[in-house]
């Protein structure tokens, strides 16, 4: 069945106003009773539990969330990114009628040393149309009436300078709109204009045209939709950013993932390369085998966090590169970890401290002033920083982590540093990572697990026995990997049950983020992912819907609850067997939210034995997801599994039905 992409988010939730009779169900199905006292304050849990993990893999940044539409805008593509990529990849020459032109690349007198390559377009015969054409990220999506901001740097190298015409064209060369930029000077200068599209094409091209005989140097040729998320310049693609924002993430972890520690020491993600004017940023190869312009850099990440009300959680390399560095060439997986030379550690420590000053320092401090110059004089209020990602726990790692951790703790005692426990949820690195982190007093540890759905169902008590006096946990990357690593309802439901267990343990688990977040169709490095997209559409998975329910209906206190199961005659913990429950309250609204994951293939009638229910007379909201466990994100059927909403006039009396294989989220609203 073909995949249908949602043009926008509306319509995801199906709302029914009529409440079916549930009393009959109780007679047929073994009854579950959730007991809780709503008058109790409960135990404080993390109010920031559910956030997102963002990494530039699967074309999540360039060609994805970053709204730039020109691919290889700065002519920095090279075989280091991908074997067949060159400075002129995605560019070609247009010669129409009698026009004659050529396109070359040069490095003499670049726009900036960090951005060494630029194009030189030469007009030999300026008749008809002569121009250089960019194919975008597999085409440029253009809608009629849409406005686009054009910018480029140019300098006239030889011959007579004339105005530059920038055109949007269909693949066939039909005009979709154009603008004229003033003739270039002899020195590098930025030129800007705007195009309003007079037609539509999902596969459009950008053509930069010159008509006077001569040669013009060009760099940073850029096209952005005017309508970015929150109207930001150099901003995010609106529909994708809106899908991310709708998760109501309480934090955003960036920029990865493996991208952080990089494929070799020279490939680490260095935050300073990602700030300042775009033309000065140091693009580099992406560990996921493509290219990072770094147009989406630290300033943009922090600003995005602020825009969506999420706390920034940057992760910096622990001065070691990925243990798999070079393995694609050497075939030696797990043996490539290298550390920054100890003599260079003081400079690296300073780089990390500079990041903190850049984020939090006053606008007149050396690094805070760079933030202010970018348009954000107020501090970003950075509270957390991750050091290291999934590193194998070796002496090389430990030595460097300790230096970094102690330096940050000494200078910024109020900042929470998050350490790592290696790539897996158990085993040698995990044990050594935790032991080492405990010995240093690291306040929070990052755990990762990509495991089958059964693992999640079998680990509903994983955190019940974690030492409450020790470090907090950040479940930094997790996903249930079902057969063929597909996004099935089985995987999403297992994650949902697991998330109820995280809420029950929200006093020790502080953060959790599903990984990875984004994947462009046709550019997949990793699956499953939370959100799939094309140039023109967004497809939300069932795993996404689960994350959204937990993000939107989170709480900050856990109310003690028990679960009575008439089928087994047992009274037990809310994470018992085939059913997992959490009951949380939210101090801002004083609402209580009951979440129940029914993992069994039997529908259950759920009775609510809730002391204090009288204070919740407003109709409750019940959101239910249920369906065939094999439903995947590639099937139209997944729309049937998506949340179905209805109102319950008197939830305390009626209870509700938890269908087989379902997640139910009941929001009890306080009476006004
Ligand atoms: O989420 C994809 C990858 O999984 C991350 O880059 C890495 O940290 C983990 O192995």
Alpha helices in 412-518 (DSSP H): 428-440, 453-458, 489-504
Distance 53 CA to ligand 1 centre (A): 10
Q: What count of Cα atoms within 13 Å lies in the side-chain half-sphere of residue 405?
A: 25
Q: Whose CA is nearest to atom 7 of ligand 1?
A: 257
Instruction: State how far the Cα of 487 lies from the Cα of 530, in Å rounded to an integer.
Output: 8
Residue 143: phi and psi, rounded to 5, are -110, 150
Run of H or E including 518: strand 518-520
Measured CA distances, 539 to 11, 41, 106, 238, 435 (Å): 13, 39, 41, 14, 41
On the question of a cis peptide bond just before residue 255, with omega within 30 degrees of 0, the verdict is yes
- Distance from CA of residue 284 to its chain's centroid? 20
Counting from 1 in the atom list of ligand 1, the atom nearest the Cα of 260 is 6
Q: Whose CA is nearest to atom 3 of ligand 1?
A: 257
Q: What angle do CA 623, 604, 628 make, to 5 degrees?
A: 65
- Cβ 654 under 6 angstroms from ligand 1: no
Q: Which of 516, 518, 527, 530 to mutate to test the pocket of ligand 1 (most atoms within 8 A of CB)?
A: 516
Contacts of 10 (CB under 8 A, 6+ apart): none
| Given the residues 390, 447, 545, 657, the one annotated as active site | 390
23 band by pLDDT with thresholds 50, 70 and 90: very low
- Cβ 530 under 6 angstroms from ligand 1: no
Place of tokens 């790539």: 423
Instruction: State how far the Cα of 520 lies from the Cα of 59, in Å rounded to an integer.
Output: 6
Q: Is pLDDT of 9 > 80?
A: no
Q: Whose CA is nearest to atom 5 of ligand 1?
A: 257
Q: Which of 526, 528, 530 to mutate to test the pocket of ligand 1 (most atoms within 8 A of CB)?
A: 526
pLDDT score, position 120: 98
pLDDT score, position 571: 72
- Cβ 579 under 6 angstroms from ligand 1: no
What's the token pair of residue 310? 């999420």
111 band by pLDDT with thresholds 50, 70 and 90: very high
Pick the closest to residue 13 from 544, 589, 530 (CA basis).
544
- Cβ 477 under 6 angstroms from ligand 1: yes
Dump pLDDT digits (tens) for 324-350: 999 999 999 999 999 999 999 999 999
- Please state the rounded mean pLDDT for residues 525-553: 98
Pick the closest to residue 255 from 76, 524, 61 (CA basis).
61
Counting from 1 in the atom list of ligand 1, the atom nearest the Cα of 390 is 8
Counting from 1 in the atom list of ligand 1, the atom nearest the Cα of 258 is 6
Q: Is pLDDT of 298 > 90?
A: yes
Helix (H, G, I), strand (E, B) or coil at 278: helix
What's the token pair of residue 655? 């209870």
Dump pLDDT digits (tens) for 159-205: 999 999 999 999 999 999 999 999 999 999 999 999 999 999 999 99
Counting from 1 in the atom list of ligand 1, the atom nearest the Cα of 479 is 1
Active site residue 332: no
Dump pLDDT digits (tens) for 412-442: 999 999 999 999 999 999 999 999 999 999 9
Distance 228 CA to ligand 1 centre (A): 28
Asked if 419 and 433 count as a contact pair (C-beta separation under 8 A), the reply is yes
Across the chain, mean pLDDT equals: 94
Count of other CB atoms within 10 angstroms of residue 181? 18
- Distance from CA of residue 100 to its chain's centroid? 45
Question: Model-level pTM?
Answer: 0.95
Helix (H, G, I), strand (E, B) or coil at 395: helix
Q: Whose CA is nearest to atom 8 of ligand 1?
A: 257
Distance 258 CA to ligand 1 centre (A): 5
- Distance from CA of residue 468 to its chain's centroid? 30
Dump pLDDT digits (tens) for 120-168: 999 999 999 999 999 999 999 999 999 999 999 999 999 999 999 999 9
Count of other CB atoms within 10 angstroms of residue 21? 8
- Please state the rounded mean pLDDT for residues 618-642: 96
Instruction: State how far the Cα of 219 lies from the Cα of 211, in Å rounded to an integer.
Output: 18
- Cβ 417 under 6 angstroms from ligand 1: no
- Cβ 390 under 6 angstroms from ligand 1: yes
């Amino acid at each position: 069945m073909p995949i249908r992409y949602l043009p926008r988010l509306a319509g995801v939730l199906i709302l029914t106003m009529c409440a079916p009779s549930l009393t009959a169900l109780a007679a047929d199905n073994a009854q579950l009773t959730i007991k809780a006292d709503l008058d109790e304050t409960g135990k404080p849990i993390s109010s920031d539990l559910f956030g997102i993990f963002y990494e530039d893999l699967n074309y999540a940044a360039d060609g994805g969330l970053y709204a730039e539409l020109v691919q290889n805008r700065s002519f920095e593509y090279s075989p280091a990114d991908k074997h067949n990529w060159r400075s002129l990849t995605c560019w070609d020459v247009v010669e129409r009628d009698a026009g004659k032109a050529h396109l070359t690349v040069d490095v003499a007198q670049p726009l900036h040393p960090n951005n060494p390559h630029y194009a030189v377009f030469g007009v030999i015969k300026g008749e008809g149309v002569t121009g250089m054409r960019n194919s975008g990220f597999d085409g440029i999506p253009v809608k009629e009436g849409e406005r686009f901001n054009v910018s480029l740097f140019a300098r006239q190298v030889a011959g007579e300078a004339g105005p530059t015409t920038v055109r949007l064209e269909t693949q066939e060369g039909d005009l979709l709109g154009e603008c004229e930029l003033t003739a270039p000077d002899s020195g590098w200068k930025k030129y800007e204009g705007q195009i309003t599209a007079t037609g539509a094409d999902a596969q459009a091209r950008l053509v930069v045209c010159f008509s006077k005989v001569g040669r013009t140097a060009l760099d940073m040729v850029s096209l952005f939709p005017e309508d970015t998320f929150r109207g930001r310049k150099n901003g995010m693609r609106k529909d994708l950013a809106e899908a991310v924002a709708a998760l109501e993430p309480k934090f955003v972890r960036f920029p990865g993932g493996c991208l952080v520690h990089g494929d070799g020491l020279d490939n680490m993600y260095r935050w300073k390369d990602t700030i300042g004017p775009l033309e000065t940023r140091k693009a580099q190869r992406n560990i996921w085998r493509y290219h990072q312009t770094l147009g989406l850099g630290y300033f943009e990440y922090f600003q995005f966090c602020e825009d969506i009300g999420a706390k920034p959680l940057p992760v910096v390399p622990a001065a070691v590169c990925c243990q798999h560095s070079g393995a694609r060439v050497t075939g030696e997986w797990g043996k490539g970890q290298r550390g920054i030379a100890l003599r260079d550690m003081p400079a690296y420590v300073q780089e990390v401290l500079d990041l903190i000053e850049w984020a939090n320092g006053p606008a007149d401090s050396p690094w805070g002033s760079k933030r202010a110059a970018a348009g954000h004089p107020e501090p970003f209020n950075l509270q957390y920083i991750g050091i290291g990602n999934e590193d194998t726990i070796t002496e090389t790692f430990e030595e460097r982590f300790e230096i970094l951790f102690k330096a940050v703790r000494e200078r910024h005692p109020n900042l929470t540093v998050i350490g790592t426990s290696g790539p897996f949820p158990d085993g040698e690195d995990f044990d050594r990572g935790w032991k080492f982190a405990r010995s240093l007093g690291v306040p929070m540890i990052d755990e990762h697990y990509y495991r089958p759905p059964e693992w999640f169902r079998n680990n509903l008590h994983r955190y019940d026995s974690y030492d409450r006096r020790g470090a907090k946990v950040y479940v930094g990357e997790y996903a249930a990997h079902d057969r063929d690593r597909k996004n099935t309802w089985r995987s999403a439901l297992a994650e949902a049950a697991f998330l109820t267990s995280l809420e029950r343990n929200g006093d020790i688990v502080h953060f959790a983020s599903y990984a990875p977040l984004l994947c462009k169709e046709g550019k997949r490095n990793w699956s499953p992912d939370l959100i799939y997209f094309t140039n023109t559409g967004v497809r939300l998975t069932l795993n996404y819907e689960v994350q959204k329910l937990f993000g939107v209906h989170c709480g900050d206190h856990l109310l003690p609850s028990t679960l009575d199961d008439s089928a087994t005659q047992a009274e037990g913990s809310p994470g018992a067997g085939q059913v997992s429950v959490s009951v949380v309250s939210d101090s801002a609204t004083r609402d209580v939210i009951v979440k129940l994951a029914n993992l069994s293939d039997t529908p259950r009638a759920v009775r609510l034995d809730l002391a204090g229910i009288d204070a919740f007379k407003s109709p409750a909201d019940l959101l239910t997801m249920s369906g065939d466990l094999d439903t995947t994100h590639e099937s139209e059927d997944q729309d049937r599994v998506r949340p179905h909403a209805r109102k319950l006039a008197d939830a305390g009396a009626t209870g509700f039905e938890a269908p087989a294989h379902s997640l139910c989220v009941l929001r009890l609203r306080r009476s006004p």
